[in-house]
């Protein structure tokens, strides 16, 4: 398999170095089936499943029989909380449930490798020496994106850092189209949903080590 290289830039958008990508992670082979399973599992695990309705046994009141069983000429009824009555219970309504699903680690790993490979092949991955800003302002973060001809108002960007940085996370968090997270926590869904991926050099190394295991 051909060895791929990718440029390393500084925050001013100038190329500083080139690094080789691990062929065990970045390749031309894309597993669409694993990506499909990983995205479905991720979205299912985000569902809360809190929707709930009350059955006739859970609605308060209704303990007294409205009228006697026979002799009134009306239909027999045992409770005012019958689903047929106003303020009654709900028949076959939703109840809290768990939508989460388990996906084997090998499939999740293969899906993430495939998603990253696809982004690299599309030339939508930018590697930075480090994501450091001169001033703790959102304007500075927008300037960094602009140096790579990225319009944060139109392009969804995923920024992957090698270490937690509250200041940078806050600055990037103020930009609606930018998602910031640790590289080691990257997942297939976020990688695919982003149009551009910006990752630090150390973050790329951490992510590669995680996927090579």
In a shared domain, residues 139 and 187: yes
What contacts 178, CB < 8 A, 6 or more positions away? 141, 145, 152, 156, 157, 158, 159, 172
Helix boundaries (H) for the chain: 32-46, 105-121, 138-147, 166-173, 188-193, 201-212
Question: What is the per-residue pLDDT for 173?
Answer: 86
What does the block give as tokens for 161? 């850092």
pLDDT at 211: 92
Same domain, 81 and 130: no
Same-domain check for residues 156 and 172: yes
pTM of the model: 0.83
Residue 194 lies in a domain: yes
Query: For the chain, which residues score pLDDT lower than 70?
Result: 1
Identify whether residues 190 and 143 lie together within a single domain. Answer: yes
CA dist 30 and 112 (Å) reads: 10
Cβ atoms of 135 and 144 closer than 8 Å: no
Per the CB < 8 A criterion, the answer to whether 125 and 60 are in contact is no
67 is in which domain, residue-wise?
48-98
161 and 189 part of one domain: yes
| 209: its two tokens | 């080590």
pLDDT, one tens digit per residue, over 32-45 is 999 999 999 999 99
Residue whose C-alpha is closest to residue 26's, from 2, 56, 55, 54 = 2
The answer as to whether 43 is a domain residue is: no
Token duo for residue 112: 């993430």
Averaged pLDDT score across all residues of the chain:
92
Residue 86's pLDDT is 94
Over residues 99-140, the pLDDT tens digits come to 999 999 999 999 999 999 999 999 999 999 988 877 778 898
Instruction: Check whether residue 86 and residue 117 sit in a common domain.
Output: no
193, two tokens: 């949903």
Q: What is the pLDDT of residue 1?
A: 60
Is residue 36 in a domain? no
- Domains contained in the chain, number: 2
Q: Which residues pair with 178 in a beta bridge?
A: 157
Neighbouring CB atoms inside 10 A of 4's CB total 17
Q: Could you tell me the CATH number of the domain that includes residue 124?
A: 3.40.1370.10
38 within some domain: no
pLDDT on residue 168: 87
């Amino acid at each position: 398999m051909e060895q791929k290289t990718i440029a390393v830039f500084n925050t001013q958008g100038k190329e500083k170095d080139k690094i080789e990508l691990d062929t065990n992670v970045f390749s031309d082979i894309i597993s669409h089936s694993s990506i499909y399973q990983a995205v479905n599992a991720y979205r299912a695990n985000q569902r809360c499943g809190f929707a709930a309705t009350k059955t006739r046994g859970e609605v308060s009141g209704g303990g007294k029989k409205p009228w006697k069983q026979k002799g009134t000429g009306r239909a027999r009824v045992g409770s005012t909380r019958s689903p047929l009555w106003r303020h009654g219970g709900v028949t076959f309504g939703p109840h809290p449930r768990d939508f989460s699903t388990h996906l084997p680690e090998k499939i999740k790993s293969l899906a993430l490798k495939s998603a990253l490979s696809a982004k690299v092949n599309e030339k939508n991955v930018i590697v930075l020496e480090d994501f450091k800003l001169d001033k703790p302002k959102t304007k500075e973060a927008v300037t960094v994106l602009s140096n790579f001809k990225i319009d944060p108002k139109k392009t969804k960007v995923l920024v992957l850092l090698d270490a937690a940085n509250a200041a940078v996370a806050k600055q990037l968090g103020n930009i609606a189209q930018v998602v910031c997270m640790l590289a080691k926590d990257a997942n297939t869904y976020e990688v695919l949903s982003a149009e551009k991926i910006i990752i630090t050099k150390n973050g790329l190394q951490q992510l590669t080590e995680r996927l090579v295991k």
